[in-house]
Amino acid sequence: MVMSTDSDYDVVVLGAGPVGQNAADRVQAAGLHVAIVERELVGGECSYWACVPSKALLRPMIAVADARRVAGAREAVNGSIDVASVFSRRDRYVSNWDDTGQADWVRGTGATLVRGHGRLDGPRRVAVTTSGGEQVVLTARHAVVVCTGSRPALPDLPGIVEARPWTNRKATDSSAVPDRLAIVGAGGVGVEMATAWQGLGSSVVLLARGSHLLPRMEPFVGELVGRGLAAAGVDVRLGRSVRTLRRPDPGGQVALELDDGNELEVDEVLFATGRSPRTDDIGLESIGLTPGSWLDVDDTCRVRAIQHGWLYAAGDVNHRALLTHQGKYQARIAGAAIGARAAGRQLDTAPWGVHATTADHHAVPQAFFTDPEAAAVGLTAEQAAQAGHRIKIIDVEIGAVVTGAKLFADGYPGRARMVVDVDQGHLLGVTLVGPGVTELLHAATIAVAGQVPIDRLWHAVPCFPTISELWLRLLEAYRDSFYLIV
């Protein structure tokens, strides 16, 4: 492509994933001139190796599981998953790893797309090395926004280099099904990929170092998800970690020595053991920061350690909430704040008055597409108690009391928890596990983020007979008055 000869911009954004795109879009909407730099595919990790392909792989497994829970439908489910069709569907949703459409969208916003490896080169300067070896220096009048995301963090284990383990990228872009797959890690990536690859035909062993799957959620979530995985054929092993790995033959099997002395032999091993920031090679040293570090930001996503307030960081790199939707939320707020500051306006008078990432502190939603699904927003009971809140915990077995859930699935397996701040009279957190619950999460997010008084929630009437009737049952349990409206 022909590079712009104009190297001066109001804002330069590093990274053209969904976070960077949202930051650039908000800044453009404020009338500022923006350049966005990308060294890989425009659309980033989420579009090609995480959220989108993983959900495309998972949806067939969940659809079949849902059908098998309904008498009359389960009899129509014959045979096994069509693996080729699943991969074809995944490839369609990632546009066969072709970013032309997303690149055209970025340009359509009026932003300048610069392809290459961008590095900070002192205050308000970004040096970009293009694929052709040319160097272009971009100068930002107002701000540089770092949206470079994160990468898998692999543990320092003997033999891990030789083993050539999968990470989330290979787990979502592979079109070959290993006969035996070991997954190390019990967080969202671990449980989702166990669901997907077991459904695709692998014999999966899931190794969890701790005593629970999904350890950052309420304990009952991991229990129910673990039961679902085990019922699907996954060998779930809690309290197990890997000591060493061996793969002497590059095309051969991987041997894992476990901490209990047993050895596990598989065709591939996936490590889903956390993330590290992609800040090791973006020139942080040129502005006095440590390469490879997380970037500490304030509630407008401005990096605290940088004088004069010109550097922002949104998404995974600031380590607030490593979730695409939270990164996009941060980017919208950062972009609005940059626009307001560039115009010399007070932040609370700019459009919408939204210039602080308050949700990052108390209302982060998260969803995992396992069987059953898991979803949560806000604080767990333990987190709320540790924060000093006086709380009341309300638990409901969804399939036992919600008519919509009973109609949705025979023997509906699920549970919900509501954590109430007794003194303030609003919700601090909601956790849901069960078929279809991810689509209930936004209602919970509104209640938690808006700090809606629990007495007011009685007047948000759920439609009968839907799973959302759960809200009525939770409120009834809170009031200790049980009745059924039909």
Annotated ligand binding at 191? The verdict is: yes
Q: How many domains does the chain have?
A: 3
Annotated ligand binding at 189? The verdict is: yes
- What percent helix, strand, coil does the chain show, rounded to 5? 40, 25, 40
pLDDT of residue 482: 38
Which pair of tokens denotes residue 253? 């099997």
CATH code where residue 474 lies = 3.30.390.30
In which domain, by residue range, is 207 found?
A: 168-273
pLDDT of residue 389: 97
Mean pLDDT by 10 residues, the chain (486 residues): 64 98 95 97 97 98 96 94 98 98 95 97 96 92 98 97 97 98 97 98 97 96 98 98 94 95 97 97 98 97 96 98 96 95 76 68 96 98 97 97 97 97 97 97 97 96 97 93 38
Annotated ligand binding at 450? The verdict is: no
Both 206 and 260 in one domain: the answer is yes
Annotated ligand binding at 309? The verdict is: no
pLDDT of residue 408: 97
Residue 163 lies in a domain: no
pLDDT of residue 3: 44
Which pair of tokens denotes residue 335? 């972009």
Both 194 and 251 in one domain: the answer is yes
CATH code where residue 182 lies = 3.50.50.60
Both 9 and 144 in one domain: the answer is yes
Annotated ligand binding at 316? The verdict is: yes
Annotated ligand binding at 373? The verdict is: no
Does residue 356 contact residue 348 with C-beta atoms inside 8 Å? no
Residue 74 lies in a domain: no
Both 132 and 13 in one domain: the answer is yes
DSSP string, 173-187: H--S--SEEEEE--S
Residue 71 lies in a domain: no
Residue 43 lies in a domain: yes
Between CA 464 and CA 466 the distance in angstroms is 5
Give the distance, in angstroms, between the CA of residue 5 and the centroid of all CA atoms in the same chain.
37
Nearest to 21 by CA among 126, 76, 101, 81: 101
Both 340 and 354 in one domain: the answer is yes
pLDDT of residue 348: 63
Annotated ligand binding at 150? The verdict is: yes
Both 255 and 177 in one domain: the answer is yes
325, amino acid identity: H
Both 181 and 268 in one domain: the answer is yes
pTM over 0.85: yes
Q: Of 326, 359, 392, which residue is a domain's last?
A: 359
Between CA 471 and CA 417 the distance in angstroms is 10
Q: Of 312, 331, 359, which residue is a domain's last?
A: 359
Annotated ligand binding at 12? The verdict is: no
Both 20 and 140 in one domain: the answer is yes
Both 140 and 175 in one domain: the answer is no
Both 186 and 264 in one domain: the answer is yes
Both 283 and 252 in one domain: the answer is no
